[in-house]
């Protein structure tokens, strides 16, 4: 092995020699180092680092350096070398280790148990594979309590067990650490592992086929518990999200086309968490690229969940670029930076603060077209939410600022094996709208208690998007600003607006939707 010069005052962790090459194939960091990393850097246990010029601009190199620091190696300023020297280092290392079986030193075990245990990573990979194979899984949830750890999946909006048997709490805790180590090495971990803290992160490399990324959200629950929610972001076909593939019909796509054809103004997609807002946002962006082929887009997302493979799209990942723990400020800074970066159109992942609302409005006023999301219960609630966030009524009154607002929900459709029941057979609360359907039709369709083998508990696999699309005029904006929401709704319907609730009731009437599914998902 090519010796590394010992740095005065530094020492490798116990059981390792100063000249051990950590990034070698059989080294402590070998399992997390790709050939691209070894082409650029060599790290020794002494803390000495050999690096080719500009290697510190490579994200994988920086991830491996960060992992070495977290493992306690005394990292020193890199020595810049040429590629030939670096290849010689690895060649010598390989010759010395050719006849050796890699040993699991105590430091290696520590690395595996806390910062990327390869078996745990393999377990996580298989877990994600299982979730993808199930179809309809949006999230995998790992729930760690003091007595046990359990794994669930959100399948078409319902939490169901993904693994039959419980894990030990010790294994569950190690699994959570391994997931965040994976994010730190091959994606982005916002703040590393912190025991007892809420954390976010993202994995974007080395995932099973069909996944573009996995968003991580860690919750510190009561009684020293932890819950990890892994949001699965499927890889779009041909690298793009298409509106027809999301379930939008021709009339809805035509309405969206008219709105995003505007050269400026804000288009807002609203709805609760888990209703597909981000996916729809990216579908609108892809549709805009079809309409205006040469437009330059910049997106600001926290984090980027869907990778858009298009030369005219630049995606800014806020979490990855944040230098401090104030990601809200980093997000606002990124929004401002995009306005100075010659965009034609912008996608802001979310209006989530007064400052981000102001920036989105400013972008519209300066001639930019903006796509974004907002957490409200419906399209009619967006104006009130923006007022609450400090946007002036005078600004919202201008119909050139808010070009369009949509809201959506995802509902399970009944399988063809569904059965009919009468009012006498209906159990539980019966709202007036459902009672009216019973009066008119005499029956409604509900899931079959003995479903066929082609469905999931009486429902088709997957969900149907229900959306309302509003293109507000001055009168509607005036009514909403004044708090006359019902009058605004009546005016909107006179212009051809179709509220989500009414669409869902029609679906119950014609037998596509289960009444209880509608009551669960939509406030009528």
Per-10-residue mean pLDDT of the chain, 524 residues long, equals 35 57 87 84 89 76 83 83 78 51 38 56 91 92 93 94 88 88 62 63 89 91 88 86 93 96 95 92 95 93 86 83 62 88 93 92 93 94 96 93 96 96 94 95 96 92 94 96 96 96 96 96 90
The answer as to CATH 3.30.450.90 being correct for domain 118-186+195-234 is yes
Other residues' Cβ atoms within 10 Å of the Cβ of residue 446: 20
The Cα 96–Cα 15 span in angstroms is 18
CB atoms within 10 A of CB 27: 21
**Rounded CA gap, 70 and 93, in Å?**
24
Predicted structure pTM score: 0.72
Q: Give Cβ neighbours of residue 522 (< 8 Å, ≥ 6 apart).
A: 409, 411, 466, 500, 501, 504
pLDDT in the model for residue 254: 96
Helices and strands in the chain: count of H runs, count of E runs: 19, 19
The two domains 118-186+195-234 and 243-521 share their CATH topology (first three levels equal): no
Hey, which CATH number is domain 243-521, 3.40.50.10700, 3.40.1350.10, 3.40.50.300, 3.40.630.10? 3.40.50.300
Q: Encode burial over 144-169: b for 16+ CB neighbours within 10 A, e otherwise.
A: bbeeebbbbbbbbbeeeebeeebbeb
476: left (phi over 0), alpha (psi -120 to 50) or beta: alpha
- Residue 255 Rama label (left phi>0; alpha psi -120 to 50; beta): alpha
Which residues sit opposite 314 in a β-bridge? 298
**Residue 104: other Cβ atoms inside 10 A:** 10
Calpha distance 176→227 (Å, rounded): 9
Q: Domains of the chain: which residue ranges? A: 30-81, 118-186+195-234, 243-521
Residue 187, classed as helix, strand or coil, is strand
The count of other CB atoms within 10 Å of the CB of residue 86 is 19
């Amino acid at each position: 092995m090519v010796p590394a010069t010992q740095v005065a005052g530094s020492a490798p962790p116990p059981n390792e020699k100063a000249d051990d090459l950590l990034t070698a194939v059989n080294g402590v960091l070998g399992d997390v180092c790709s050939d691209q990393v070894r082409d650029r850097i060599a790290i020794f246990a002494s803390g000495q680092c050999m690096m080719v010029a500009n290697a510190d601009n490579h994200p994988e190199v920086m991830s491996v350096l960060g992992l070495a620091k977290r493992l306690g190696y005394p990292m020193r300023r890199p020595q810049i070398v040429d590629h030939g020297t670096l290849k010689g280092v690895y060649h010598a290392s390989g010759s010395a280790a050719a006849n050796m079986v890699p040993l699991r030193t105590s430091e290696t075990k520590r690395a595996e148990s806390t910062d990327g245990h390869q078996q745990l990573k393999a377990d996580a990979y298989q877990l994600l594979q299982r979730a993808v194979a199930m179809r309809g899984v949006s999230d995998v949830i790992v729930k760690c309590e003091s007595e046990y750890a359990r794994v669930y999946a959100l399948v078409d909006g319902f939490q169901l067990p993904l693994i039959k048997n419980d894990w030990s709490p010790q294994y569950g805790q190690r699994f959570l650490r391994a997931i965040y180590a994976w994010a730190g090495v091959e994606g982005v971990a916002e703040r590393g592992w912190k025991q007892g803290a809420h954390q976010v992160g993202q994995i974007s490399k080395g995932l099973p086929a069909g996944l573009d990324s996995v968003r991580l959200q860690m919750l510190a629950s009561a009684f020293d518990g932890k819950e990890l929610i892994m949001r699965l972001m499927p890889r779009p076909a041909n690298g793009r999200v298409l509106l027809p593939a999301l379930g939008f019909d021709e009339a809805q796509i035509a309405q969206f086309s008219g709105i995003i054809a505007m050269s400026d103004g804000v288009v807002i997609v609203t709805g609760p968490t888990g209703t597909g807002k981000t996916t729809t946002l990216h579908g609108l962006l892809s549709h805009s690229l079809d309409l205006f082929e040469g437009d330059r887009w910049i997106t600001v997302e926290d984090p980027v969940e869907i990778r858009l493979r298009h030369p005219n799209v630049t995606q800014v990942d806020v979490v990855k670029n944040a230098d401090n723990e104030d990601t809200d400020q980093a997000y606002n800074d990124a929004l401002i930076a995009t306005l100075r970066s010659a965009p034609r159109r912008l996608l802001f992942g979310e209006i989530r603060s007064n400052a981000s609302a102001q920036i989105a409005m400013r972008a519209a006023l300066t001639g930019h077209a903006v796509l974004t999301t907002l957490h409200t219960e419906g399209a009619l609630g967006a104006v009130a939410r923006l007022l609450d966030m400090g946007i002036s009524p005078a600004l919202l009154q201008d119909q050139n600022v808010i070009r369009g607002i949509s809201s959506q929900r995802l509902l399970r459709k009944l399988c063809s094996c569904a059965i009919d029941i009468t009012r006498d057979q209906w159990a539980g609360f019966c709202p007036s709208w459902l009672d009216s359907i019973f009066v008119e039709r005499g029956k409604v369709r509900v899931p079959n208690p003995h479903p066929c083998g082609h469905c999931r508990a009486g429902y088709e696999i997957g969900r149907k998007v229900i959306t309302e699309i509003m293109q507000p005029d001055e009168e509607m904006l005036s009514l909403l600003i004044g708090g006359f929401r019902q009058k605004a709704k009546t005016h909107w319907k006179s212009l051809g607006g179709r509220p989500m609730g009414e669409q869902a009731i029609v679906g119950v009437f014609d037998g596509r939707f289960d009444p209880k599914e509608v009551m669960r998902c939509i406030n009528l």
